[in-house]
Amino acid sequence: MIRNLLLISNSTNAGEEYLTWPRTYIQDFLTGFGVHKVLFIPYAGVNLTPASVEKSFDLYEDRVKKIFKEMGFTLNSIHRESNPINAVNEAESIVIGGGNTFHLVLMIQEFGIMEAIRRKVLRGIPFVGWSAGANVACPTMKTTNDMPVCEPPSFNCLKLIPFQINPHYLDANSPGHAGETREQRIMEFLTVNRDTTVAGLREGCILRVEGNSMKLMGNRPLRVFRFGKDPQEFTKDDNLDFLLKITAG
């Protein structure tokens, strides 16, 4: 299988400017494939302005375009394209930004580009997704952390990888919060979806997929959950290829 993916847990670390920490990773990844142009999918960005969702897409595009220009790439947003499927088919690379996963999946499904993106990426063009953009690389969006602000026709996503990612994975709740931990929520998910594997991707971490090989980038371990088994921790020195060989649940 030909696939080149950069799946990023979060865009911004606390105290940093937007897209600061993953910038070098993104630049090196895209430059390595000789990329000059990026097709950006902003559909997760719904809260950048109260004016309208469309205005939020404009602001999101402007925000990301400036950073990608500094990295040496031309960025065009799919929301300005009259034929989104053609835009995907002609794309040199695809970047999906973070935000609300429910809205992102709704728009991708409404415009009929889910299969077009999957087909294009599995032919080898580089794909970058952070937060919600990493969620949609999975078989479904069921391990998102987001509020369901809208209802997509289906939770099915791109299935570029056979396991689920939980971005922004946290080990414990904030002080004073007595609700479920993230681990408990994932265990709930696995009780219902027993054949699925979930990777808790902590902030400041990336999964780099090349064909049937995958490695962790960043200084924090990956926490892997499977039903009926204790969670396991894997570092950037561990071989993670086994996660690409599992059967999607």
The pLDDT tens digits of the residues spanning 236-245 come to 999 999 999 9
Task: Calculate the CA 140 to chain-centre distance.
Answer: 12
Q: Assess if residue 17 is contained within a domain.
A: yes
Tokens describing residue 49: 């302005």
pLDDT digits (tens, 9 = 90+) for 7-55: 999 999 989 999 999 999 999 999 999 999 999 999 999 986 666 788 8
pLDDT at 1: 73
pTM value is: 0.95
pLDDT at 180: 82
Q: Is residue 177 part of a domain?
A: no
Active site residue 131: yes
CA angle 33, 37, 38 (to 5 degrees): 90
Residue of 9, 11, 77, 131 marked active site: 131
The tokens for 142 are 């069921």
Q: What is the mean pLDDT of the chain?
A: 94
Beta strands 123-130 and 94-96, pairing class: parallel
Catalytic residue among 11, 93, 146, 174: 146
Enclosing domain of residue 86 = 2-162+201-220+233-244
Query: What is the C-alpha separation between 43 and 133, in angstroms, rounded?
Result: 10
> CATH no. for residue 120?
3.40.50.880
C-alpha R_g of the chain = 17
Position 231, amino acid: P
Token digits of residue 126: 């580089």
Q: Which structure tokens are listed for 144?
A: 């998102």
Beta bridge partners, 234, equal: 222
Of 28, 58, 168, 230, which residue is the catalytic one?
A: 168
In a domain, 98, yes or no: yes
> Residues 116, 163, 99, 216: is their CA dihedral positive or negative?
negative
Q: What is the pLDDT of residues 140-195, one digit of tens each?
A: 999 999 999 999 999 999 999 999 999 999 987 666 665 689 999 999 999 999 99
Number of C-beta neighbours around residue 62 at 10 A: 13
Q: Is residue 43 part of a domain?
A: yes
Task: Confirm whether 227 is domain-assigned.
Answer: no
Q: Is 178 part of any domain?
A: no
Q: What is the mean pLDDT of residues 197-215?
A: 97
Is 93 a member of any domain?
A: yes
Q: Please tell me the total count of domains within the chain.
A: 1
Helix (H, G, I), strand (E, B), or coil: what is residue 212? coil
Percent of the chain with pLDDT over 70: 95
- Which DSSP string corresponds to 126-172? EEEEETHHHHTTSSBSTT-----SS--S--B---SSSSEEEEEE-SS
Instruction: Report yes or no: 21 and 204 within 8 Å, Cβ to Cβ.
Output: yes
Backbone angles phi, psi at 199, to 5 degrees: -105, 115
Q: What is the mean pLDDT of residues 221-244?
A: 97
Residue 188 lies in a domain: no
Residue 168 designated active-site: yes
